[in-house]
Amino acid sequence: MIIQNLNWLAVVVSALAYFALGAIWFGPVFGKMWMKGHGITPPTEEEKKNMNMGMIFGMSFLKTVVMVVLTSYIVMIINYNGNMMTALKIGVVLGGISSFPTGINYLFLKKPFSIWVLDGGYHACGVIITSIIMSVWR
Protein backbone atom coordinates (compact mmCIF):
# COMPACT_ATOMS: atom_id res chain seq x y z
CA MET A 1 0.00 0.00 0.00
CA ILE A 2 1.37 3.39 -1.01
CA ILE A 3 0.32 5.24 2.16
CA GLN A 4 2.60 2.98 4.20
CA ASN A 5 5.50 3.86 1.91
CA LEU A 6 5.15 7.61 2.34
CA ASN A 7 8.10 9.42 3.82
CA TRP A 8 6.18 10.80 6.81
CA LEU A 9 8.99 13.13 7.82
CA ALA A 10 8.86 14.64 4.32
CA VAL A 11 5.06 14.89 4.67
CA VAL A 12 5.43 16.86 7.90
CA VAL A 13 8.16 19.10 6.42
CA SER A 14 6.02 19.69 3.30
CA ALA A 15 2.99 20.57 5.42
CA LEU A 16 5.08 22.96 7.52
CA ALA A 17 6.51 24.56 4.35
CA TYR A 18 3.00 24.94 2.85
CA PHE A 19 1.70 26.38 6.13
CA ALA A 20 4.68 28.76 6.45
CA LEU A 21 4.07 29.92 2.88
CA GLY A 22 0.55 30.87 3.96
CA ALA A 23 1.86 32.85 6.93
CA ILE A 24 4.12 34.85 4.63
CA TRP A 25 1.67 35.05 1.69
CA PHE A 26 -1.35 36.19 3.70
CA GLY A 27 0.71 38.16 6.19
CA PRO A 28 3.37 40.64 5.13
CA VAL A 29 3.27 39.98 1.37
CA PHE A 30 -0.42 40.05 0.38
CA GLY A 31 -2.28 40.32 3.71
CA LYS A 32 -3.70 43.82 3.23
CA MET A 33 -4.65 43.12 -0.39
CA TRP A 34 -6.30 39.84 0.64
CA MET A 35 -8.33 41.46 3.40
CA LYS A 36 -9.44 44.31 1.14
CA GLY A 37 -10.37 41.94 -1.70
CA HIS A 38 -12.51 39.82 0.60
CA GLY A 39 -14.03 42.82 2.36
CA ILE A 40 -12.50 41.89 5.71
CA THR A 41 -11.54 44.48 8.28
CA PRO A 42 -8.99 43.84 11.00
CA PRO A 43 -10.73 42.46 14.11
CA THR A 44 -11.24 44.68 17.10
CA GLU A 45 -9.77 43.71 20.47
CA GLU A 46 -13.21 42.45 21.52
CA GLU A 47 -13.55 40.33 18.36
CA LYS A 48 -10.05 38.92 18.89
CA LYS A 49 -11.12 37.67 22.33
CA ASN A 50 -14.00 35.72 20.75
CA MET A 51 -11.95 34.20 17.94
CA ASN A 52 -10.69 30.69 18.49
CA MET A 53 -7.44 31.11 16.57
CA GLY A 54 -6.00 27.88 17.97
CA MET A 55 -8.85 25.90 16.42
CA ILE A 56 -8.67 27.86 13.15
CA PHE A 57 -4.93 27.35 12.75
CA GLY A 58 -5.11 23.76 13.99
CA MET A 59 -7.81 22.82 11.48
CA SER A 60 -5.95 24.71 8.74
CA PHE A 61 -2.80 22.75 9.47
CA LEU A 62 -4.70 19.44 9.59
CA LYS A 63 -6.26 20.19 6.19
CA THR A 64 -2.84 21.15 4.88
CA VAL A 65 -1.48 17.76 6.01
CA VAL A 66 -4.34 16.01 4.16
CA MET A 67 -3.57 18.06 1.02
CA VAL A 68 0.10 17.10 1.31
CA VAL A 69 -0.71 13.39 1.75
CA LEU A 70 -2.99 13.44 -1.31
CA THR A 71 -0.38 15.29 -3.35
CA SER A 72 2.32 12.88 -2.13
CA TYR A 73 0.23 9.91 -3.20
CA ILE A 74 0.02 11.22 -6.76
CA VAL A 75 3.71 12.16 -6.76
CA MET A 76 4.68 8.63 -5.69
CA ILE A 77 2.62 7.09 -8.49
CA ILE A 78 3.74 9.41 -11.29
CA ASN A 79 7.26 10.41 -10.27
CA TYR A 80 8.62 7.10 -9.05
CA ASN A 81 12.23 8.09 -9.85
CA GLY A 82 12.04 11.50 -8.12
CA ASN A 83 12.89 13.59 -11.20
CA MET A 84 12.91 17.32 -10.34
CA MET A 85 11.38 18.46 -13.66
CA THR A 86 8.62 15.87 -13.36
CA ALA A 87 8.02 17.10 -9.80
CA LEU A 88 7.61 20.64 -11.09
CA LYS A 89 5.18 19.53 -13.81
CA ILE A 90 3.12 17.51 -11.33
CA GLY A 91 3.04 20.51 -9.00
CA VAL A 92 1.86 22.84 -11.75
CA VAL A 93 -0.92 20.47 -12.85
CA LEU A 94 -2.09 19.73 -9.31
CA GLY A 95 -1.75 23.42 -8.44
CA GLY A 96 -4.10 24.24 -11.31
CA ILE A 97 -6.53 21.56 -10.17
CA SER A 98 -6.45 22.99 -6.64
CA SER A 99 -6.92 26.61 -7.70
CA PHE A 100 -9.50 26.50 -10.51
CA PRO A 101 -12.45 25.29 -8.38
CA THR A 102 -11.86 28.34 -6.19
CA GLY A 103 -12.01 30.49 -9.33
CA ILE A 104 -15.37 28.96 -10.25
CA ASN A 105 -16.72 29.69 -6.76
CA TYR A 106 -15.41 33.26 -6.93
CA LEU A 107 -17.33 33.87 -10.17
CA PHE A 108 -20.59 33.19 -8.35
CA LEU A 109 -19.44 35.12 -5.29
CA LYS A 110 -18.56 38.05 -7.58
CA LYS A 111 -15.02 38.20 -6.20
CA PRO A 112 -12.43 40.12 -8.19
CA PHE A 113 -10.15 38.18 -10.52
CA SER A 114 -7.14 39.46 -8.54
CA ILE A 115 -8.40 37.72 -5.38
CA TRP A 116 -8.74 34.43 -7.22
CA VAL A 117 -5.16 34.84 -8.49
CA LEU A 118 -4.06 35.57 -4.93
CA ASP A 119 -5.90 32.66 -3.27
CA GLY A 120 -5.41 30.20 -6.12
CA GLY A 121 -1.78 31.23 -6.51
CA TYR A 122 -1.11 30.41 -2.87
CA HIS A 123 -2.44 26.87 -3.23
CA ALA A 124 -0.71 26.37 -6.57
CA CYS A 125 2.62 27.42 -5.03
CA GLY A 126 2.00 25.26 -1.96
CA VAL A 127 1.29 22.20 -4.08
CA ILE A 128 4.35 22.86 -6.26
CA ILE A 129 6.54 23.07 -3.13
CA THR A 130 4.98 19.86 -1.80
CA SER A 131 5.48 18.05 -5.09
CA ILE A 132 9.15 19.01 -5.22
CA ILE A 133 9.84 18.08 -1.58
CA MET A 134 8.04 14.76 -1.89
CA SER A 135 9.77 13.94 -5.18
CA VAL A 136 13.34 14.62 -4.15
CA TRP A 137 13.11 13.45 -0.53
CA ARG A 138 12.53 9.72 -0.87
Write out pLDDT tens, residues 64-74: 999 999 999 99
Cα-Cα-Cα-Cα dihedral sign, residues 122, 124, 110, 105: negative
What confidence tier does 105 reach under pLDDT thresholds 50, 70, 90? Answer: very high
When divided into structural domains, the chain yields a total of 1
Q: Give the model confidence (pLDDT) of 27-78 as tens digits.
A: 999 999 999 999 999 888 888 888 888 999 999 999 999 999 999 999 988 8
Q: For residue 45, what are the domain limits?
A: 2-136
Distance (Å, whole) CA 27 – CA 9? 26
Distance (Å, whole) CA 55 – CA 57? 6
Q: With a cut of 80, say whether residue 1 has pLDDT above it.
A: no
Q: pTM for this one?
A: 0.88
Cβ-based burial of 108 (10 A; exposed 0-12, middle 13-18, buried ≥19)? exposed
Nearest to 127 by CA among 104, 102, 109: 102
Nearest to 127 by CA among 85, 104, 101, 98: 98
